[in-house]
Amino acid sequence: MCVACPVFKKNISEKNIKETCKLFNTQLREYRGIVEERDRQLENLSMELALGLSEVFEALKKISAGDPTIRLRETSHIKLIQKLKSMVNRTAKDIGEFVDQAHTFAIDMAEHFDVLHKVSQGDLNARVTGSSDIELLESLKRVTNEMIESISREINERKQVEHALEISEEKYFDLYQNAPDGYHSLGPDGKILEVNDTWLNMLGYKRSEVTNKINIKDLLNEEGIKIFRKTFRILKKKGSIENIEYTIRRKDGTLLPVIINATAIYDQRGHFLKSRAIVRNNTEKNAYSKKLEYAAEEWRVTFDSMPYGVLMLDLSFHIIRANKYFCMLYDIPVEKIKGKTISEIINSERLHENIQSFESGRPLNLETCEYFDSSLKKYFMQHMTVIPDQDGLTKAFVLSLVDISEMKDKEKRLADSRDAFLNMLKEIDFSYKELQSLFNSLIRSFVNAIDAKSPWTKGHSERVTNYATAIAKEMGLENHEIDNLRIASLLHDIGKIGTYDILLDKPGKLTPAEFEIVMLHPVKGEEILRPIGQFQNLLPIIRHHHERIDGKGYPDGIRDGQIPLLSKIITIADSFDSMTSDRPYRPAPKIEYAVSELKRCSGTQFDPHAVQALFRVLKKQKRHEHLSFD
């Protein structure tokens, strides 16, 4: 510092500057001493830090080498070193404890693996035993044992299923081989790929003689080959053919008439692979056709021998056919009555009303009515029935006339006619459509005569049938079930033929003894129809149409699950019609009463689902829109 420069001299005294410099030099020496002391302290700290870190790293090496027993003195002037040593000691301790647990875990895991090895060898009784303080091992033991239990159950169940499957396959194979019809499978060229035992027995061949050896055309005559080629092309294209008839040559050279129903099997790309065909022996067809012709002739004889007038009318109300009783009644030859309009012969107000209603598209009045024929001086019970086609459209009518002037005599003749009618029905097979309409007409005519036993049951069977079939359609039943229900509904009261008229027409309450007699009519109905083979499936329906859900009905007192569904439907239809029709002991109540009774007795007397179906049917009818069915 230049203290003699003019500027410095001008601003401060030289003495003061010297004293200041002296003081500064003293402070500078003191600062140098402090710095040197700090350098010594830092050197000592560095040495202690290096030694501490060396101990820590050495301890960590030993721990990593597998010696968790190492421990360090935790004293040090450096807090960081103290903390590091403490952490190393805690780590070594934790690792030591983990090693001990790992040793125990390894021993227990060895037992688990040993048990699982036994299970894999088929020893399903092996289990992990013993206990451990380690929660994980205890959980693992529980899970392992539960898994073995589950495997054991699954294997046992699978064995049971496999055993059941083997039995089922054996039964299926036996059923296939011994089915009542033959079976064959044909390749794309017609080669016989497979046949069942029934096929072999039908034709007299051995399996080794036909399968993959001959073509089906080798067993057909010239006409059969033409039919086969035509229908086999259709099968490949459409996937199925039905009721194909030709003859197959037996091994002894005779021809066997058969009916073929076949389906096609295709690969994933839609290419034809083979056919599966049912081969039914058709030998009895001609004999059966003759039997049907005989039955039809017997029906015509029965129709003509009925002790009341029956006519079949077309949609223009011209007479298609009339029985001899009617022709004799009005003294008109059979050959001249066909084609006449019914109004030319019968002067009935109800009949004229129905003709006008049908021509104008209004519904017909099908209720039974009485009329007086002034030309014959006789009273008749007149009933008209609609004959529907397969689509439910009207295709013809049946008009029946019962002379009620001599009711008792009529009942006897009706019983005789019933026996002839039932004997005739035994011979008729309902599967032939050409007789179905005649059969239905005859049943309806017979039901008309049954309803004519009492003026209180006029049209009852027809109304019950209409209600029952409407309920069945609402419930989604199959067509064949509805057909069975229709016939059973029409004939449900056939047993009342054996019930005294005085009981059916009694205006007062029946005595217990009289009610016992009336309660027999379901059983009598079953007995009347039992001889007819085609009615066997209807017998339970007719027998149980007065049973109740709660088991308090008659004749057998069976409960819900034992009562046929069709019987339950007839029960509701029968009860509804009875509650809404006049009876000798009371006038017809209002329909609201019938609805309330069906609601009240739903689940006890009546099937709830069928009751709701009837309510839906009624609700769809405009005249019942005001009713509440909730």
Ranges 222-236, 238-252, 493-507, 541-555: which has the least confidence: 493-507
Distance of alpha carbon 19 from alpha carbon 14, whole angstroms? 9
Tell me whether residue 468 is in a domain.
Answer: yes
pLDDT of residue 572: 95
User: Residue 315's domain is classified under what CATH number?
Assistant: 3.30.450.20
Which CATH number characterizes residue 461's domain? 1.10.3210.10
Range with top average pLDDT, 57-66, 472-481, 512-521: 472-481
Considering 38-47, 286-295, 478-487, the range whose residues carry the highest mean pLDDT is 478-487
Question: Does 446 fall in a domain?
Answer: no
Using the predicted structure, report yes or no on whether residue 78 has a pLDDT greater than 80: no
Phi-psi label, residue 204: left if phi above 0, alpha if psi -120 to 50, beta otherwise? left
Mean pLDDT score, 53-81: 73
Counts of helices then strands in the chain (DSSP H, E): 22, 10
Q: In a 10 Å sphere around its CB, with 0-12 CB exposed, 13-18 middle and 19+ buried, how is residue 442 labelled?
A: buried
Please give the backbone phi and psi of residue 397, each rounded to the nearest 5 degrees, phi first. -130, 155
**Average pLDDT, stretch 304-323?**
85
CB 128 within 8 A of CB 144: yes
Report angle CA 173, 178, 182 to the nearest 5 degrees: 105
Q: Is this structure's pTM higher than 0.85?
A: no
As a whole number of angstroms, the distance between CA 216 and CA 274 comes to 13
Alpha-carbon distance of 422 to 426, in angstroms, equals 7
Whether 463 and 594 share a structural domain: yes
Element (H, E) at 314: none
**Per-residue model confidence (pLDDT) at position 437:** 66
Task: Give the CA dihedral 424, 429, 435, 441, nearest 10 degrees.
Answer: 60
pLDDT exceeds cutoff 90 at 415: no
Residue at which a domain ends, from 144, 174, 204: 174
Cis peptide before 608 (omega within 30 of 0): no
Angle of the 433-451 helix axis to the 479-490 helix axis, nearest 10 = 30
E strand intervals along 307-430:
309-313, 319-322, 369-373, 378-388, 394-403
Report the candidate in 218, 180, 212 with the shortest Cα–Cα distance to residue 197. 180
The domain boundary residue, chosen from 283, 310, 341: 283
pLDDT in tens, 569-617: 999 999 998 888 866 555 667 788 889 999 999 999 999 999 999 999 9
Indicate if 539 and 621 belong to the same structural domain: yes
Cα(587)–Cα(581) distance, rounded to whole angstroms? 7
One domain, residues 474 and 616: yes
324, 459: one domain: no
Q: Rounded distance, CA 274 to CA 226, Å? A: 20
DSSP string, 445-514: HHHHHHHTT-GGGTTHHHHHHHHHHHHHHHTT--HHHHHHHHHHHHTTTGGGGGS-HHHHT-SSPPPHHH
pLDDT of residue 591: 85
Q: Are 207 and 293 contained in the same domain?
A: no
| pLDDT value at residue 101 | 66
Q: Is residue 192 part of a domain?
A: yes
What domain range includes position 609? 453-630
Local structure of residue 380 (DSSP, 8 states): E
- Model pLDDT for residues 1-30, shown as the tens digit of each residue: 555 566 555 555 667 767 777 776 787 777
Same domain, 235 and 298: no
pLDDT of residue 431: 45
pLDDT at 269 over 70: yes
Same domain, 162 and 215: no
Q: Which amino acid is at 628?
A: S
Confirm whether 426 is domain-assigned. Answer: no
- Name the domain boundary from 149, 174, 199: 174
- For the chain, the average pLDDT equals 80
Q: What is the mean pLDDT of residues 242-265?
A: 93
Average pLDDT over residues 359-379: 81
316 and 340 together in one domain: yes
Q: Most confidently modeled of 58-72, 114-128, 387-401? A: 387-401
pLDDT recorded at residue 473: 95
Distance CA(397)–CA(317), nearest Å, equals 8
* Residue 617 CB burial class (10 angstroms; 0-12, 13-18, ≥19): middle
Per-residue pLDDT at 146: 79
Report whether pLDDT(261) > 90.
yes
Residue 626 has pLDDT above 70, yes or no: no
Strand partners, 606: 602
207 and 313 part of one domain: no
Residue 198 lies in a domain: yes
**Is residue 111 a part of any domain in this protein?**
yes
What mean pLDDT do residues 106-118 have? 70
Q: For tokens 């693996």, name the residue.
A: 113
Cα dihedral sign for 422, 424, 428, 434? Answer: negative
What are phi and psi for residue 133, nearest 5 degrees? -80, -15
| Residue 467 to residue 600: CA distance in whole angstroms | 19
Q: Are residues 494 and 563 in the same domain?
A: yes
Nearest alpha carbon to residue 236 among 262, 267, 272, 261: 272
Q: At a CB cut-off of 8 Å and minimum separation 6, what does 14 contact?
A: 3, 4
For residue 93, give every residue at least 6 positions away whose Cβ sits within 8 Å of its Cβ, in sequence order, or none. 68
Is 519 inside a domain boundary?
A: yes
pLDDT tens profile 482-535:
999 999 998 888 887 765 555 555 655 777 777 787 788 899 889 888 988 878
Q: What is the mean pLDDT of residues 53-71?
A: 73
Residues 120 and 154 in one domain: yes
Q: Based on the domain organization, do 612 and 573 belong to the same domain?
A: yes
pLDDT at 99 over 90: no
Residue 579 lies in a domain: yes
The answer on pLDDT for 627 being more than 90 is: no
Integer Rg of the chain from CA = 52
Number of domains in the chain: 4
Q: What is residue 429's predicted lDDT score, i.e. its pLDDT?
A: 47
- CA dist 324 and 332 (Å) reads 9
pLDDT of 364 higher than 90: no
Dist CA 573 CA 546 (whole Å)? 11
